[in-house]
Homo-oligomer: A and B are copies of this chain.
Amino acid sequence: MSFLKRNINCGELRDTDVSRKVVLNGWAATVRNLGGLIFVDMRDRYGITQVIFEPEFNPELAEKAKEIRSEFVLWVEGEVRLRSNPNQVIPTGLIEVVASNFGIINKAELPPFPIEDGIETGEETKLKYRYLDLRRPELQRKFIIRNKLYQIVHQYYHDNNFLEVETPVLMKSTPEGARDFLVPSRINKGKFYALPQSPQIFKQILMISGFDRYMQIVKCFRDEDLRSDRQPEFTQVDVEMSFIDRDDIISVTEGLFVKVWKEILGLDIQSPIRRMSYAEAMSSYGSDKPDLRFGMEINHLSSGLMSTEFKVFQDIVAANGLIASIKVTNGASLSRKIIDELTEFAKKYGAKGLAWIKISNGEISSPISKFLTEEQMEFIIRSNDAKDGDLILISSDKRNRALTILGALRLEVARRQGIFEKVKNNFEFLWVVDFPLFEYDEEAGRYFAMHHPFTSPMEEDFHLLDTNPGEVRAKAYDIVCNGAEIGGGSIRIHDNVIQQKMFDKLGLSESEIDEKFGFLIKALKYGAPPHGGIALGLDRIVMILSGTDNIRDVIAFPKTTSGLSLMDGSPSEVELSQLNELGIDLFRKTE
């Protein structure tokens, strides 16, 4: 099947091209027949150009053009002329091409949904026909943004003397955190490779190798139960530097974001980006990734309620818990039903209940007012700077739980009040720093590394490692944008004795340490430089840049939350001979 090759694409022609002879290739986006006059909007990645077949000018051609249907692939030869009714919305809207010849390169069946923006088709259908969904301009724009991001990232780190190095996809399984995807080895039967959850150890090895500055845009894998914003494979911008401290990484990373926001969105990010300690973020926003596009901070109330006679509060105060609140501006108008919904919402985060205070037409109403003195009520209102028409939501609980509940409520209230919609074009960046080194898992009864076990403790907290590990702060940092964590990193341990101690604290036995991380401990003995780095969530960054909440909008061939690719039907059953070769068998349930 031959065709006349284009000499111009469908997004290029302007009014200065009038009278030009051109050849276009593309898809028939829309076909209209107005009394024999046939209009075809030809579409390609670059834009849309209106083509017209005129029976007066060429009756045979116009007759043949009647065959054209939506999504047919065409070549069209013709001459550019001004449109009598220009379309000011698209860049090619001033002109049209009068066809003098054309051919159907390939036909198309009727697509199961229209190839246009803003369609209501269910996601399952769109994923199954991903090749058609990806033709829609709003989706293509997101991948054009994604491509721009790749280019800026490569260029930026190259300009800053980083070397791109590829780390292995087939590596060792070292489950400490999320589950690994495993790959059975055929040559070494009974053994398995794992897909990397991150190239963490390899980038540290590269620093020990003297590569000095490393970066890679790299696929990572986690076999977790998928949430709607997670994918089993995801992409990170992976960075590591030697002979540096935290501020070096922060400043290199900020430089990238400034460049990306400027070049892709034309916006200036305020730099240096604000920093906030983990402690402050939790205390004021109930989150380690606060959304700073709006206020509604948490107000701590315990100090003014020490002498309360309200039993619930008393118990909390006695147990060193926290009483705190957020103010919902103009929230007094919220119905009892909505407050009940918020209470249910809070319970998902472990709340036993939710106290509230409404100020409406000068009247205070609250289920707990009878337990509070006038002074205490006034203290709460003053602490929240609440005015007539406002609502105060109060949580009293163990400190962290109370903060988490209020942090979640803050976002839920913002969602319900349309605040996110109002601030959707704002970008608030934040560094969260001074994370705890460990978090205690009550169920497992042991400490886990909050970031990962290679994160360096702060020197000034070394002495707490043995006595009070929960208080040790890490040289770890996250970068947050609009309440989403878009990157995280740390200064790593470069001293093998401290690394060994860290593994000890995590409850790994000597043989486990040796088995899983022996080669890293060994490498650290041969002259490891001080080093640290960061990993940025590329998918998440593209989501923010392109204004979508759906991660499947920014991944060309995504999986569903059940890990399925609906287009090609993977995962799928394989032939028995393949399994035999790998020396594995499907598990037969014993019951």
Contact = CB atoms under 8 A, between A and B. Distances in A.
Given A135-B210, A154-B151, A587-B583, A192 B572 contact: yes
A586 B587 contact: no
Contact of A105 (B179, B530, B563): B530
Given A205-B131, A587-B580, A573 B165 contact: no
A246 interface: no
B173 A557 contact: no
Interface in A186-216: 186-195, 201-202, 205-206, 208-213
A573 B529 contact: no
A242 B559 CA distance: 26
B563 A185 contact: yes
A449 to B, nearest CB: 19
A570 interface: yes
A195 B186 CA distance: 14
Given A109-B526, A165-B147, A584-B586, A245 B571 contact: no
A243 interface: yes
Size bracket of the A interface: 35 or more
A135 B211 CA distance: 8
Contacts of A3: 243, 530
Nearest to A220: B169
A564 B135 contact: no
B233 A5 contact: no
Contacts of A219: 166, 169, 219
Interface string A149-166: 011001100100001111
B243 A5 contact: yes
Number of copies: 2
A237 interface: no
Interface in A553-567: 555-557, 559, 562-565, 567
A245 B586 contact: no
Interface string A497-535: 000000000000000000000010001011111100000
Chain B CB within 10 A, most for which of A135, A527, A530: A527
Given A147-B165, A165-B556, A571 B188 contact: yes
A209 B137 CA distance: 11
B578 A189 contact: no
Contacts of A5: 243-245
Given A169-B233, A580-B587, A202 B557 contact: yes
A372 interface: no
Given A526-B71, A578-B182, A564 B206 contact: no
A470 interface: no
Contacts of A187: 225-226, 562-563
Chain B CB within 10 A, most for which of A163, A179, A570: A570
Interface in A290-332: none
A491 to B, nearest CB: 11
Chain A binding site: helix, strand, loop or mixed by DSSP? loop
A168 interface: yes
A111 interface: yes
Contact of A173 (B183, B221, B578): B578
Chain B CB within 10 A, most for which of A108, A134, A188, A210: A210
A107 interface: yes
A428 interface: no
A184 B571 CA distance: 8
Given A494-B106, A526-B111, A210 B134 contact: yes
A230 to B, nearest CB: 12
Contact of A235 (B72, B166, B233, B564): B166
A192 B581 CA distance: 14
A570 B193 contact: yes
A96 B2 CA distance: 68
A293 to B, nearest CB: 29
Contacts of A567: 205, 519
Instruction: Identify the 7 closest CB pairs spanning chains A and B, nearest first.
Output: A108-B527, A134-B209, A172-B570, A191-B571, A185-B571, A71-B527, A25-B243
30 contacts: A3-B530, A46-B212, A73-B527, A106-B530, A108-B526, A131-B209, A135-B209, A147-B163, A151-B158, A154-B155, A166-B556, A170-B233, A170-B565, A170-B570, A172-B565, A172-B569, A173-B574, A173-B578, A175-B578, A182-B582, A187-B562, A187-B563, A188-B563, A191-B572, A194-B570, A206-B556, A519-B568, A583-B587, A584-B584, A585-B585
